[in-house]
Each structure stands twice: as C-alpha cells, then as structure tokens.
Structure 1
Amino acid sequence: MMLLQTPAFRVSLVSLLLTALPVFAKNYHVQTMAEYQTVVPQLQPGDSLILRNGVWNDVNLIFKGKGTASSPIYLKAETPGQVVLSGQSSLRLSGHYLIVDGLLFKDGFSPRSAVIEFRENDDALAFNSRVTNTVIDNFSNPDKQESDYWVAMYGKHNRLDHSHFIGKKNKGVTIAVRLSGEASQQNYHRIDHNYFGYRPVFGSNGGETLRIGTSHYSLSDSFTHVENNYFDRTNGEVEIISVKSGSNVLRGNVFYEARGTLTLRHGNNNLVENNIFLGNSKDHTGGIRVINKGQVVRNNYLQGLTGHRFGSGFAVMNGVPDSPINRYHRVEDATISNNSFVDVDHIQLAVGSDAERTATPISSTFADNLIVNHNDTSPFSLFDDVSGIKFVNNVANTSVPAALSRGTQTQPVHLEQHSNGLFYPRLANQDIGVARDLKVIDKAETGVSWYSKDYPVIAFDTGKTIAVEANYEALERAIDDADAGDILEISAGNLTVPSVIYLSKPLTIQAAKNANVSITFERSTLFEIQNGGSLKLSNLQISGEKSPDTHSNSVVRTQKWGMTDNYRFEIHNSHISNLDINHSFQFFASGKGAFADHIIISNTKFERISGHILQLDNEHEDLGIYNAEYVTVTNSQFTDVAGTIATLYRGGTDESTFGPHFTLEGNQIKRVGTGKRNKTEASVLLHGVQMSSITGNIFEACQPIVIRHTVAEPQTKIINNQFKNTASPDITELNSASPHTAIIRNNKVL
C-alpha cells in the first residue's frame, strides 16, 4: 500500500527530524578555566565542551546541564589521554544525560571527598549520565590515612565504563556507589568494562576497590550492575568488592591474582554469576563470601585460590542472632549452584563462628557444583552446624566431611582445558560446574586502549649493572643516574658516606664479585627509603663506628612520615656491626605510616647492636594499622643485640587485613633482647601478627619470644627450636579467655 505524501505530511516529517537531531549542536573548545566556566551555562542538548590538550592544574570542574537521551551533552578531551588533570583537581557532574570522555587524572589528588562525583552537591545529582574512556592513575592523597573515593556514584541510571583505575594508595574505596538518600536508591547504575589495576596492600581497613552501599542503607535495594570488569591484583584489603545493599548483579568479571574476595557483606537478593577468579596460587587470593538472605551464586569459575577464613576461595558465614544492621545477618535462602572450584584450598562453611556469631546458615542449597583439588586434600572446613545447607548432586575428587557426603559424589575427575581457557571435566553429566560457553573477558576488552595495563611494581635486579668505584661521590652519581631496577656494584675498598643517601627508586647496591666492601657513615642514618624507593643490599660490611654519638641512629630507615608508596627492603650475605655508639641504634627503623610489602634478611651476621634489628611498631592507635606485610629472617646470626630481632605491631580488633606475616627460620641467636632499655623484655615481639612461623632457630641466653594474639584466628607455629638458657615462648590471647591457639612442638628448652 502506497503512503500518500501530502504537503502537510512532509512538513510534519521535517519537523520530526528537526526535533530528533541536534542540528544546532555546537562544539566549544576551551583552554582555560575562565573559558570553561563561561561555556557551561550555555550548553544545550547535543553540545560538546572540548578541553584543549595540555595539563590542567588545580581545576575544580563542575559539568552540568540538561541533555536528552538522543542528544546528550559531552565533556571531552581534545585527544583522549592528552588532557591531564593534575594538582588538586576534581570533577562533578549534575543534571541529565551528560557524558564525560577521555580525561586523565594523574600527578595530584582531589581536595574534595572524591575525584569524580555524580553530583554537584546533595541537592544536585546526575541522572542518566556516563563517565567513559577515562583514567585515574595514582591520584592519591599524600596523607595515606585521609580517606576519599576516586569515583562516587549518586543519582540514578548512571554508567561508569571502559575506564582505567590504578594505584590508589590512600584510604578509601576506589569506586563507591552511594545510596545516601532516596534519589540515589534503586539506582540501576552500570559499572562495566573497566580495568581495575594494581592496588597495593593498604595495611589496614579501607582498601576496597568497589563498594555498593553502606551498612546504614544496606536494607535498601541498589539494582547496580557490575559486569565485565577486570580486577588485576587489586590487593588493598580482604574485600575487593563489598556489597552492602540489595538486588545487585555482579556478572562476567575477572579477578586475576587478586587478594581478597567478592563479599556479599550486607543486603539481600544479590546475584553473583559468570565470574572468573584466577589466583595462580598467590597468597590470599580469594573468591566469594556469602552473608545475608536470598543470595544467588551460580556459574562462577574459581581456580588456584589460596585464601582462608574471610578471604577463602568460598565462604558461607555464620551470623549474629537479631543482628544490628552493621554486623552479620544470618545466611538464609542462599542458592549456590553450578560453580567450579579447581585447586581451591579452602571452602569454609559457618566460618566466623564464635560467641557472637552463632546463627548458622538455614534454608540454603549447595547444588551441582564441581570441586577438584589436585593435591588430594579436601578443601572443606565446617566451623558449626551446616544442616541448614542442603547438598545436592555435587561432584568432588576428594573426600568430603560426613555432613556433606549425602549430596556430594566422590569420584576421580579428569579435567581438560576448553577453548575459553577454563578446565572442564569429562563427565557423563555435563550439568555439573560452570557452563561450557562461559565467556572470559580479556583484559584488552576493558579500560582504555591508550593507557598501559602493565604491572607497575619494578622488581629488583631487572635493570642494568653499573660498576661503581668505592668512594661516595661515585656512588652518589651512580644513584642519581640509575634507573629503577638497576644494580650498583661497588669495587673493593673502604667507603665512608658523609651524607644520608636518599632513595626514591628501587635499586640494588652490592659488592662486586669477590670484592671486600666496607661501609661506614657519618650521619644518623646511611639510607633513607622515600616514596617510590626500595632497597636491596648484598655482600656488604657495614659498621656504625663513625656514626654520631646520639641515640636512635639507624642503618636504614624510611622517611619519618608522609609515605604513600609501599616499599621493599632486603639484605643478603652481609655483616652488620658496631651499631653501639649510643643507645637505641636500630638496624632498620620504620617511619609512621610507612608500609613494606616485604622485608627480607638472609645469611647476614649482626653483632654489637644497641637497639632493635627491625623496629616496626610505630602504629599505636590500635586501628588495625601496621608497618610491614611480610617479614622474613632466615639463616642469619645475631649476637649481642640489646633490643629485639623484630618488634612487629598490629593493634586493634579489625579483621580486614591478611597480615602481618612473620618468618624466623634457621637462625643462630645469642644474647638478644637483654638490654636494659628493651622495654619489650623480648627477643622477638609479635603483637597482632596474623601468620607466624618460628622454626629451626637456636636461642642462647636470650629474652623469650613474646607473642600476643588479638583477632582473626592468627596462625602461629613454633617448631624445632632450641632454647638454651632462654625461657619458653610467652603467648597471650588478648581477646579470648580460651587457651592460646599456637602450635608448639619439638622444641628443646636446655
């Protein structure tokens, strides 16, 4: 049938097209804040406000307007990645149908509570708006304990996508969905195809990568969708994603070597499906933790996860009876189905059971799941009654606890790698575990195309080797000229250092092959590790004999305050002596707020030290903050040390971290801890350390090992040591009336 095109019809059609298309849309190019502020009030649907390439320093951008679904208003970079917002800069959106595209935040921090906010203020929010193709790189407040967000989502129907977030080092959630007010609840936000890069271990609570809601609003629904994002070593704390609201969907995300878990912390009726967790057996890599009502966890693939307890590969928690809104609600009506657990060390049920958390899971189902461990060890741990979880049609290749056996078939399982890179069984029943068409999003499909996704931590000994003469001027020049990861090899000789050596990049300083290098120093410290710096020492003889006659000298220290970057320190095959010119001469002293990813001492001899070897106890507020994640001391000798080998302190009752970790193995320890100024009265003091292993050491005429357990089920092992004229270890449970939980065996007290 032919449509009759009358003149009136043609006029109406033209009018329709004119209203549908932004024919009068304008492009405004601006290069100053004055120009920007002049243009913003003029913006109409379809317009684009384009920032000229360059560095925009100390700018507070407010982007507001009323676009439409067909004609949004744009804030764009002239060239994506070449508009750099630095210094104290921030961005706020308010209005409707706004799109931000192509910005880069680096070399600064926000003076506000967030770098990007989907609101101008409490009364002016953003709706149906979008931030895309944008990067925030290490835009961290220089006060590590000053909390902020990088993106705070308010309003409704907003989207954060194809953006890149890496290196948040100060306290606070990277991305926060805020439900503070009815206008931000039931929001239907989308967070998709983003790249969440390395977030270093924070060393206390407050290091989540994504949080949806807060406990105060946790009984409200958010309806936020978190889909197809890539979490690459997001190691801030025990919760990578913290869901604190209801009716959210978390789907198709990849967690790569990420410490912590996707935690359904508060809120009900959330859906977790089609996610991939690849731990590659890295420490504390976790999966999913279930709390609250109506949670659905299905078709997730979890492999190579080592985490335990709250950071397990999979955990179902106990709750608190009649729980207040901010504690732990009972798990009820959970459906856990068609998940694949491959080489997952720990699947823990009723975890957290204690005098407070006594409400066991009820009315829940664990069905059609595949559990395969190639080490022939069952991953299951039951901490309370799990009869409220019905087990149906699961398959495992290892034995399972009797309470689970009726619904779990034990049989050999042969796995084959499928085209998506995941492993599937050759089973007659193909409905066990994840679907074979499960899509694994590639890292390249997330974030932006114009910014590197490389791992930012430069390892020791990965650069060039530089020969250095044994004099201070040559060493100073070499340090200035070296690149991160380089090795400085000092020729044979006696080297006196008149000034503090400041390190702001990772370097190795060592003696040349077969060279005898002796170092003395004339300042209160020899090396100071600053932001960006890390230090490895090897095959050196260091003496404190020329140091000033003052107390509290050190061989190595961090900057005294204000560090935001994590550092690493190692010393190998060296000899440290005569740190006794005055009292409290430490070998290594941490500044307040400094945090070490690891400290390693191996095959090194220490003698005549008037202070501590490792002084790591500068956080006394008892807020779960500490100074080092891994401390490892092996195959070394300690003689006449007035203080401790290590004073490692983590106070408080917070359960959001995995560390500290401490290892003392194969050392000879003689007359350590006996100085009159050693207030610890210990040769080793560990307070609140989560994982300790003290094995194969010989203590002679020393003060005892003193260990104080606090919270989070610390694991302490003291095995195969000799204590000659030394008291047995002193272990105290500070927050429990029960006997201590340390494993102590095969030690000799002589």
Structure 2
Amino acid sequence: PGGEVVSFRASSKEWATHSRVTGVVIDGYNKPDRQQSDNWVGMYGQHNRFDHNQLVGKTNAGTTLVVVRNATSGLDNRHRIDHNWFGPRPNLGSNGGETIRVGTSTDSQSNSNTVVENNWFEHCDGEVEIVSNKSGGNLYRGNVFFESRGSMVLRHGHGNVVERNVFLGNNKAHTGGVRVINRHQIVRDNYFESIAGDNFAAALAVMAGTRDAPLNRYEQVDDAVIERNSFINVRQLFLGAGLDDERNAMPVNSRMAGNLFIGDGSRELLRTQGDLSGIAFSANVQSPAVSPGFPAGVSARQVTLQRAANGLQYPVETVAAGAPRDLAPVSRDQVGVAWYPKALSTVALDSGSVRRVAPGEDTLTRAIAASAPGDRLQLQRGQYRVDQVLGVDHPLSVIGPARGQASLQFTRPSLFEIRAGGALKLSRLEIDGALAPDAAGNAVVRIAPGSQAFNYTLHIEDSRIHGLTANKAFDVVNAGKGSLAARITLRNTTVEDISGSVISAAAETDDLGTYNAEQVEIVASRFTRIGGPLLTLYRGGTDESTFGPSLLLQGNQLQQVGVADDTSLRLQGVQQATLVDNQFAHSGRVRFSHRVGEPHLRVRNNVLTATAAMQSDTPAETLP
C-alpha cells in the first residue's frame, strides 16, 4: 500500500480504524541509499494502537513512525502508541531523522488527540527532534528518553500535554529535554537528569516566536504552563531561545511554577534572551543559588539529593517543588518484545583477532581480503607495496611495529577506500605516495561519492604521511558526497609534502544542511609544506536539524600550510570549533564563516608567525 513497512491502511482511500499492531520487530530494514526517504510505520485512520514493538537501526532519511492525517479521512485520530522500544538510530546528519512525528505543519491547527505513553527511546540520535509534535491535543506521558541526542519538540500545534516523562542523559553530548512553542502547552511532573544539551537542546527551551507566523514557522508561545518538573544536574535552561529578527515575539500569558532547578556546575544554568515579562514565576526552587536572570518567584535553597527506589533523585529535605515522588518510569523490560534482544552493540575497532602480516607486494591486500570485523592487522618491519585499492567495509585496524618501521607505498589513486559498514584505524605507519599515479580524486583514504559510508570512524595516530605530489590536489583524507563520518581523528601524526588538503570534508555544496563529518579532532600533530588547507569542513544551508559539525584543533604545528590560497583552515557552517595551543608559521589564515544557528569559535594560545590573523564573521571566545 505504500512505502512503509507497517501501514495502517489497505489503500490510499481505505484507512484503518480500531486496529492494532503488536509484537513486531523492525531491525535495520533500510534503503541502500541513506538519502532516500521512507517511514517504517505509518499510522493512518483513527483509534489504532501500535504497542510492544521494537524499532531499531534506521539509518536512511525519513521519520521512523509517523501519524499521517488529512481532512478527508479524519483529523481526530485518537491513536495510541505505547510500550515500544525505539532503539538506536544513528545521527542522520540532516533533517528527516525524527523517531516519531505526529502530523505536519499543514494540518497542525487541528487536534490529533494521539497518546504516546510508556515508550522507551534509547540512543535515538537521528536529529535534534526525537519526537516532533505537529498537531494539537496530544498527550506524551510516562516515556523514558535514555541517552538520546535531541529533544521532545512541540514544533506545531496547540494544547499538548507532556507529563510524567523521564529524561536521562548521563551527560551524553546534545541530550535534550522539552522545547516549547505555540499555544496552550503543558509541561508538568517531568524529571530531567544529567542533560548535557544547550541552546535548542537545553533541558528546557522556551522559544521566541514569529508574529502572525505562517504554518511552517515558529508561533509565539502563549499560555504555556511549566510546573512541578525536576531539572537535576542539567547543563542549561534557555528562555527566549531562537530570538532573532524573524523570531521576535516573546512568550506571553505563561507561567513556571513549582519547578526544581539544579545545574551541573559547568556554567550558569539559566540563559535568557529578550523580554520574559510574559512568564510568571512562582514557588520555584534553585540549589544552591538563584541564577542571574530569574525574576522573583525562584528562591535559593541548599538541597541534598538522594536516589529513591524508582531510580530518581529527590531532595532529602522537604521541598515543595519538583517532580512527584510517585513517578514510576516504565522499565526497559516492560517495552518491546521478549523474544528478540534489545541489542546496542556494534563491532568495535581492535575487538577481533590479531593477524600478522609480512612485508611484500600485496600481502596487505590479501590480509584485508581475509579479515573479519574488528580484526587488527599487525604489520612487521619492512616495505609493503599495494597494487590495489584496499576496500574497507568493516571495522579494521592496520598497526605497525613502531613508528617508521613499516612503510606502505601504493600504485593506485588511493590506498584505502572506506565503504558502507567500514571503520579504519591506522597506527605507527609510514605512508609514502611516491608511486601513486596522477589521477582524479587522489587520496590516502578516500570515501567515494555514493559509497553510503555512514557513521564511520577514521583514526590515524603515531604515523608519518608524505610525498603526495602526483598532482595538485592529492589529499590525505577525502570524504565524498553522501558520506558522513561520526569522527575523524589525527593524533601525533606528521604530514609532509602534500599538494592537496590533509582532510577535505566539503562535498555537500548543495546547501541542504548536510555535511561530511560530525566531529574532527586534530591533536599533537605536525604539518609541513601542505598545498591546500589542513582542513576544509563545510556545512551549508539554514536547516536547524543537526548539531554538527565540530572541530578540536589542539597542540599542532603548521609550517607552510595552505599558502596557495592563503587558507590553512576553511571552516564554513561549523557549529563548534576549538583551537587551542597551535602554532601557525608561514601559513594561510584561518577562515571561519557562519551559516546557521549559534556557532561557537573558542580559542586560546594560538601563535601566528608570518601568518595573517584569523578571519571570522563570528566573534571568537577566548578560553581561560
């Protein structure tokens, strides 16, 4: 009947009523092209139930479960979605990675009256909206959000209730809470602990809206009630989030009452923007002191916490604020099915067998062909000649005996090619490009366009790479269009005499909000006579559905890097960049440009010698 795996309809005109789907598992049932969109579950019609199912491992675009609505078949859906395990969904790197969406902006002014309760969301990291509410009258109750990046977002629609949910971040980056937008929303009796997100992914984000907003924009918050919630060891509360020239209508007729606020100590808990006089505060408690910016209605009190039988923390003292003590979070065992595991494990680098590889011609080629996921190929001292591109489609480590003792030369345009399912660690190697031909796309490690390499890791450490001069654009790492690295790391590595870039992650130039690397870390390394930039990292467009990319550049030495176009680092649309203790000598300048959101550029103790000053359209924050 359509593109879904489970569809509550017989045809485009015959939608289900009073139907139930239970005890179903969908595990990794993905389209080969991760940019092709589909939904695993489509809930059409009215009075249907989806319960005790397991949905895990969606990697391509499209919401995992959608409630589909239209006026012809009825907008008053009254569905129930309960006791499901929504297992790990990796970062999509673009819009369209929600786990649940109820409605669309087009039909958002009507009530769906759908109940989403007692579900477990675990490692649902697809995008900034774990649950995207786009209709009215819905109830989100008793759900557990466990170590999931993103938030429960009241994106469109009015009169929704978010109550008695538990958000457990365990300080995982970008774990969020609830984002409030629109009219008559109620957020009450919820528990938030160790939520590490900020900005739109703060433990609580109350948005600024747009006056007379069109259906697809942010409507002003009006008549919101936020009461009796506990925020324990969270990083940030953000009131007035998103304030800009368009979103300039501040919350009105709203109140925050009886909430308990305890920050994690990493920064000031409260962040505010704009006029918050439209929010009335009463009987709130913050420990140990009240954040600047809170008006009257928040009192300071020293609170000692103790974990209760339900696993949550409550004040030892009598405090008339915070989440109720009778919360009974649904357990992991109570959701999903009993006959199929709730598996989280993926094969890690260095988790398999150790295979010794002798020097010689294509000995490494044969060893990789015979390797299994997680294997570690231990090279001996000597010369290794590689006459084929080494395809990597599973986690694999190639390790030398000591730095400089195992030397790799290759006669193809690339030495390694990371493919779908691959991950690669290179350690204690010397890689020499002297034998490589002059060919388009030359790179030591290439991720080909259309390869579907997704959420892979690449780690290069304690190595020397040199002699990449066969043409004017010979890179160390080249990430092709459609690929997405979870992390690329260079550590304690020397790179000398290359014509291209050390890392080129800039293939997503159609400006749709996609990018090629979530995190890049370059630490304690030396770069000399590099023709192109050390790093080109690009994210275009104005979509706000992602957290990345991010960069850490620390303790490196750059000598004659990026002189050709006066650019040693080209960072466009990067959300977090930290540059600490680096030395730039006779090199191109650092160029940082803002595309979307509130990017952070943090610097400390970077020394520039015969190098132009950094060029940035975002003020740099100097770290202590």
1:608 to 1:246, Cα distance in 2 relative to 1, 3 A: same
Tell me, yes or no, if structure 1 residue 283 matches structure 2 residue 161: no
Q: Partners of 1:540 and 1:363 in 2: how far apart? A: 64
Kept after mapping to 2: 8 A contact 1:113/1:147: no
Select which of 27, 47, 50 maps to 1:160: 50
Residue-by-residue CA offset, 1:99-121 (whole Å, 9 max, x unaligned): xxxxxxxxxxxxx4322221233
Q: Partners of 1:364 and 1:549 in 2: how far apart? A: 65
**Match of 1:693?**
578
1:542 to 1:187, Cα distance in 2 relative to 1, 3 A: same
**Match of 1:383?**
273
Q: Partners of 1:376 and 1:198 in 2: how far apart? A: 28
**Match of 1:7?**
none
Select which of 473, 476, 491 maps to 1:587: 476
**Match of 1:95?**
none
Q: Partners of 1:585 and 1:435 in 2: how far apart? A: 61
**Match of 2:589?**
704
Tell me, yes or no, if structure 1 residue 626 matches structure 2 residue 515: yes
Report the 3-state secondary structure (helix = DSSP H, G, I; strand = E; otherwise coil) of the residue aligned with 1:656: coil
Kept after mapping to 2: 8 A contact 1:497/1:519: yes
The one-letter code sitting in structure 2 at the alignment partner of 1:463 is G
Q: Partners of 2:451 and 2:356 in 1: how far apart? A: 33
Report the 3-state secondary structure (helix = DSSP H, G, I; strand = E; otherwise coil) of the residue aligned with 1:265: strand
Q: Partners of 1:664 and 1:483 in 2: how far apart? A: 33
**Match of 1:731?**
616
Q: Quote the offset at 1:511 in angstroms.
A: 1.1
Kept after mapping to 1: 8 A contact 2:349/2:397: yes
Residue-by-residue CA offset, 1:42-71 (whole Å, 9 max, x unaligned): xxxxxxxxxxxxxxxxxxxxxxxxxxxxxx
Q: Quote the offset at 1:374 in angstroms.
A: 4.7
Alignment of 1:440-451 (within 5 A): 440-451=329-340
Q: Quote the offset at 1:553 in angstroms.
A: 1.0
Q: Quote the offset at 1:467 in angstroms.
A: 2.2
Select which of 644, 648, 659 maps to 2:533: 644
1:447 to 1:481, Cα distance in 2 relative to 1, 3 A: farther
**Match of 1:718?**
603
**Match of 1:742?**
620
Q: Partners of 2:393 and 2:74 in 1: how far apart? A: 43
Q: Partners of 2:440 and 2:394 in 1: how far apart? A: 28
Select which of 352, 361, 367 maps to 2:257: 367
Normalised to the residue count of structure 1, the TM-score between the two structures is 0.81
Q: Quote the offset at 1:483 in angstroms.
A: 2.9
Question: Where do 5+ consecutive residues of structure 1 fail to align?
Answer: 1-91, 93-111, 733-739
Q: Partners of 1:477 and 1:589 in 2: how far apart? A: 24
Alignment of 1:116-127 (within 5 A): 116-127=6-17
Q: Partners of 1:399 and 1:131 in 2: how far apart? A: 49
- Structure 1 residues 169-178 or 368-377, which shifts more? 368-377
Q: Partners of 1:166 and 1:594 in 2: how far apart? A: 21
Alignment of 1:187-336 (within 5 A): 187-336=77-226
Q: Partners of 1:481 and 1:181 in 2: how far apart? A: 58
Question: Where do 5+ consecutive residues of structure 2 fail to align?
Answer: none
Q: Quote the offset at 1:274 in angstroms.
A: 1.0
Q: Quote the offset at 1:486 in angstroms.
A: 2.3
Report the 3-state secondary structure (helix = DSSP H, G, I; strand = E; otherwise coil) of the residue aligned with 1:476: helix
Structure whose alpha-carbon radius of gyration is higher: 1
Q: Quote the offset at 1:650 in angstroms.
A: 0.4
The one-letter code sitting in structure 1 at the alignment partner of 2:173 is D
Q: Partners of 2:55 and 2:510 in 1: how far apart? A: 30
1:157 to 1:472, Cα distance in 2 relative to 1, 3 A: farther
Q: Quote the offset at 1:514 in angstroms.
A: 7.5
1:377 to 1:398, Cα distance in 2 relative to 1, 3 A: farther
Among all aligned residue pairs of Structure 1 and Structure 2, give the percentage whose two residues are the same amino acid: 43
Select which of 472, 488, 499 maps to 1:599: 488
Report the 3-state secondary structure (helix = DSSP H, G, I; strand = E; otherwise coil) of the residue aligned with 1:475: helix
How many positions carry a matched residue from both structures? Answer: 624
The one-letter code sitting in structure 1 at the alignment partner of 2:616 is I
Kept after mapping to 2: 8 A contact 1:552/1:583: no
Tell me, yes or no, if structure 1 residue 504 matches structure 2 residue 393: yes
The one-letter code sitting in structure 1 at the alignment partner of 2:424 is L
Q: Quote the offset at 1:550 in angstroms.
A: 3.0
Residue-by-residue CA offset, 1:345-368 (whole Å, 9 max, x unaligned): 010001111111111111111111
The one-letter code sitting in structure 2 at the alignment partner of 1:714 is P
Select which of 242, 245, 252 maps to 1:355: 245
Q: Quote the offset at 1:474 in angstroms.
A: 4.1
**Match of 2:233?**
343
Q: Partners of 1:645 and 1:259 in 2: how far apart? A: 30
Q: Partners of 2:312 and 2:405 in 1: how far apart? A: 53
Kept after mapping to 1: 8 A contact 2:226/2:255: yes
1:419 to 1:745, Cα distance in 2 relative to 1, 3 A: closer
Tell me, yes or no, if structure 1 residue 435 matches structure 2 residue 320: no
**Match of 1:540?**
429
**Match of 1:106?**
none
**Match of 1:482?**
371
Q: Quote the offset at 1:480 in angstroms.
A: 3.4
Q: Partners of 2:430 and 2:362 in 1: how far apart? A: 19
Report the 3-state secondary structure (helix = DSSP H, G, I; strand = E; otherwise coil) of the residue aligned with 1:336: strand
Q: Quote the offset at 1:593 in angstroms.
A: 0.2
Kept after mapping to 2: 8 A contact 1:198/1:456: no
**Match of 1:128?**
18
Kept after mapping to 1: 8 A contact 2:221/2:252: yes
1:338 to 1:558, Cα distance in 2 relative to 1, 3 A: same
Q: Partners of 1:514 and 1:705 in 2: how far apart? A: 30
1:730 to 1:514, Cα distance in 2 relative to 1, 3 A: closer
Residue-by-residue CA offset, 1:1-39 (whole Å, 9 max, x unaligned): xxxxxxxxxxxxxxxxxxxxxxxxxxxxxxxxxxxxxxx
**Match of 1:8?**
none
Q: Partners of 1:668 and 1:156 in 2: how far apart? A: 63
The one-letter code sitting in structure 2 at the alignment partner of 1:743 is E
Q: Quote the offset at 1:605 in angstroms.
A: 0.0
The one-letter code sitting in structure 2 at the alignment partner of 1:741 is P
The one-letter code sitting in structure 2 at the alignment partner of 1:221 is N
The one-letter code sitting in structure 2 at the alignment partner of 1:206 is G
1:687 to 1:376, Cα distance in 2 relative to 1, 3 A: closer
1:698 to 1:491, Cα distance in 2 relative to 1, 3 A: same
The one-letter code sitting in structure 1 at the alignment partner of 2:297 is G
Tell me, yes or no, if structure 1 residue 179 matches structure 2 residue 90: no
Instruction: Give RMSD over aligned pairs.
Output: 1.6
**Match of 1:114?**
4
Kept after mapping to 2: 8 A contact 1:673/1:702: yes
Q: Quote the offset at 1:477 in angstroms.
A: 4.0
Q: Quote the offset at 1:264 in angstroms.
A: 0.4
Residue-by-residue CA offset, 1:195-239 (whole Å, 9 max, x unaligned): 111111111111111100000000110011111111111101110
Tell me, yes or no, if structure 1 residue 399 matches structure 2 residue 284: no
Q: Partners of 2:471 and 2:295 in 1: how far apart? A: 66
Tell me, yes or no, if structure 1 residue 552 matches structure 2 residue 430: no
Kept after mapping to 2: 8 A contact 1:386/1:403: no
1:582 to 1:353, Cα distance in 2 relative to 1, 3 A: same
Q: Partners of 1:159 and 1:470 in 2: how far apart? A: 61
Normalised to the residue count of structure 2, the TM-score between the two structures is 0.97
Q: Quote the offset at 1:167 in angstroms.
A: 1.4
Kept after mapping to 1: 8 A contact 2:290/2:299: no
Q: Partners of 2:609 and 2:266 in 1: how far apart? A: 40
